[in-house]
Amino acid sequence: MPPKRPHLKAEFALWSAGARLVVGVDEVGTGPLCGPVVAAAVLVRPHTRKIAGVRDSKTLSAAQRERLVGVIKERSLAWGVGAASVAEIERLNVRNAAALAMRRALRRLPSYDHVLIDGQKIRGMEDHIGPYTAIVKGDASSYAIACASVLAKVTRDRLMTRLSARYPGYGWEHNAGYATRDHVDGLRALGLSPHHRRTYRRIRAILEGDQLAFDLQPEMESELDLELAGVGDSRR
């Protein structure tokens, strides 16, 4: 079955209701064993035409995502990236840290009327970001969210590649911190890096020798890492 193509139904409904500035938001990085959670917010142009090839970032190759991300930035009214560090993931839990990263991404935008978020409703989120709609599997159905998913994925992958140069041996440059075989082997050989999520049960299982503790699928620590990677926001 071919990948589902996102549409503009939610966006057009909001534009028709008077919400001119509609933002799509998505996050990436809740599943890996290390690194930050990264979120992106993309403010699409009202009544925009879709960019060919944009869809849920998980269904795209790395080369396809890299090709699309520059076009998404160029064709959007504005975009922003936010992150939640490993320390924040450990303190808040990964879901709350993901919501924090989303809020930070949205704060990089000049203004907006309504937000479309991938996933379930988040308690108290409206108090921080204003009116929003949560769409389950929104990265596969909403064009604005799909754009954000591509930007978030490319940003985090680039960050993990930069971190892999500082901490070689874990394969972050191609596994992005997920529990692939080479990452598991690196953990067992090298131990934990400062960027690993030390409270994760799966990490403890790996270090204790559990053979079932990895995914078997290929799949910033701080604001400083965002700056080092050369990412941020753009307002057009």
The DSSP code for 34 is: B
pLDDT at residue 236, rounded to an integer: 44
Query: What is the set of domains in the chain, with CATH numbers?
Result: 9-158 (3.30.420.10)
Residue 11 clears pLDDT 80, i.e. is over it: yes
State yes or no: pLDDT of 234 exceeds 70.
Answer: no
Strand order in the sheet with 234-235: 132-135, 114-118, 22-28, 37-43, 78-84, 234-235
Q: Quick count: other Cβ atoms within 10 Å of Cβ 37?
A: 29
Tokens of 117: 């978020």
Does the structure show a pLDDT above 80 at 210? Answer: no
Which range (13-17, 155-159, 176-180, 223-227) has the least confidence? Answer: 223-227
Residues near 4 by beta carbon (within 8 Å), at least 6 away in sequence: 55, 56, 140, 141
Mean pLDDT of the chain: 90
Q: At residue 223, does pLDDT exceed 90? A: no
- Strand runs (DSSP E) across 77-224, as ranges? 78-84, 114-118, 132-135
pLDDT in tens, 57-113: 999 999 999 999 999 999 999 999 999 999 999 999 999 999 999 999 999 999 999
One-letter amino acid of 114: H
- Over residues 165-186, the pLDDT tens digits come to 999 999 999 999 999 999 999 9
Q: Which residue in the block uniquely carries the two structure tokens 């290929």?
A: 218
State whether residue 108 is helix, strand or coil. Answer: coil
Percent of the residues in the chain that have a pLDDT greater than 90, as a whole number:
83
Half-sphere exposure of 214 (CA within 13 A, CB side): 22
Q: Which amino acid is at 19?
A: A
Q: Which amino acid is at 34?
A: C
